[in-house]
Amino acid sequence: MTLRRLLAVAALVATQAPAARAASYETPNFVVDAPTAELARRFGEAAEAYRREKAEQWLGREMPPWPRRCPLRVEVTMGSAGGATHFTFGGDANNRPAVTSQRMEIRGDAQQLLNSVLPHEVTHTVLAHHFGRPVPRWADEGGSVLSENEAERFSHDVRCREILNAGKAFRLATLFRMVEYPRDMHVLYAQGYSVTDYLVRRGGDGRDGRGKLLQFLGAGMRGNTPESWDAAARTVYGFDSVDALEKGWLEALRTPPTRAVARDAAPARPAATTAAAAAARTELRSSAAPAVPVLEPPVRAARGTAPDAEPVGRPTTPRPAVAPDYPPPVLGPPEFPRR
């Protein structure tokens, strides 16, 4: 390459370098690195808005400012969207359990990140700071999936029923005690969402349902034993045991809910939506479901149907007075014995 061409290439790189470098934007609780200054600002403001919104939904109040800003790295790509939030836990000045450091990374289409992935990841921070310790995986992901949009939650509902029909679900006595992700991540995401949604609905309207779930988690996490989770089920939800809670959850799934297809229009404000992690979308690698389904999939309403035209939990067609005699659902064996 001639000297003239070398100089020309160097000049071109120099003129394009500012656009290629990531821009940074600071908010009271986040420091955002994004491809452009405008994107960094938009993601920073959205992260703060979601932080307030999710804290109010779960805790009934805003969280106090974090002592250190959470790094938020935004990578805009044309591929599938996803994210991860990493925490370290320790003690605060009063020796109480606390988050000592955190960082967040998200990647995908900018609009999908703003309206989907970001609120999911921010929900993780609300739960982590509330307990000051790792949250059981099923509830951490299930509670964050509650921030997803209608289409994503519907997809998780369908997937959970498929997993149950295929005999790949975990017994709740095992699921509740998991502290690490299982090999089949999509099972934990789908089943965790389904159980979380059931418990939130059972706990009451609005924040009451989420508040009771937090009580249940706090009680069960004390020791993380079969006895602690059984006691939590009795105290918070009135079930004799986790096994009785499991039976109630499965019975609730026998009536397929109806949900309208989500519209494609972008929301006017940051919506409580989030895309599931890529693992949650992985196709089942097991054999096909049995010929006689254990649980029916949800009924998808026609596009354009008003969401309240078919209330959640109501079938689109009349059901017989006596429910069909389904075979009992087959749940996967525990990964460790129950004492």
Q: Is the model's pLDDT at 288 over the cut of 50? A: no
* pLDDT given at position 43: 97
* pLDDT given at position 183: 87
140: left (phi over 0), alpha (psi -120 to 50) or beta: alpha
**pLDDT tier, 21 (very low <50, low <70, confident <90, very high otherwise):** low
Beta-bridge partners for 23:
34
- Summarize pLDDT for 207-237 with one digit per residue, the tens: 899 999 999 999 999 999 999 999 999 999 9
Mean pLDDT of the chain: 76
Is residue 107 located within the same domain as residue 118? yes
Q: Is the model's pLDDT at 302 over the cut of 80? A: no
**Is there a domain that residue 322 lies in?**
yes
- Summarize pLDDT for 145-176 with one digit per residue, the tens: 998 878 788 888 999 999 999 889 999 999 99
Q: Show which of 119, 134, 149 is a domain's final residue.
A: 134
**Is there a domain that residue 13 lies in?**
no
Task: Specify the CATH number for the domain of residue 44.
Answer: 3.30.2010
C-alpha pair distances (Å), 98 with each of 14, 245, 329: 45, 30, 40
**Is there a domain that residue 291 lies in?**
yes
219-241 as b/e, with b when 16 or more CB fall inside 10 Å?
A: bbbeeeebebbbbbbbebbebeb
Q: Which residue has the higher pLDDT, 178 or 22?
A: 178
Sign, CA dihedral 5-11-13-16, equals negative
**Least confident stretch, 116-120, 201-205, 272-276, 278-282:** 278-282
- Cβ contacts of 64 within 8 Å, gap of 6 or more: none
Of 113, 138, 123, give the one whose Cα is nearest residue 43. 113
**Is there a domain that residue 7 lies in?**
no
**Is there a domain that residue 14 lies in?**
no
- Summarize pLDDT for 40-56 with one digit per residue, the tens: 999 999 999 999 999 99
C-alpha pair distances (Å), 313 with each of 68, 251, 254, 256, 259: 43, 12, 10, 6, 9
Is residue 86 located within the same domain as residue 163? no
Domain that holds residue 73: 21-134
**Is there a domain that residue 279 lies in?**
yes
Q: Show which of 118, 134, 150 is a domain's final residue.
A: 134
Percent of the chain with pLDDT over 90: 55
Is residue 80 located within the same domain as residue 33? yes
Is residue 171 located within the same domain as residue 95? no
**Is there a domain that residue 11 lies in?**
no
* pLDDT given at position 80: 83
Looking from the CA of 150 toward its CB, the CA atoms found within 13 Å total 18
167 exposed, middle or buried (CB, 10 Å; 0-12, 13-18, 19+)?
middle
**pLDDT tier, 180 (very low <50, low <70, confident <90, very high otherwise):** confident
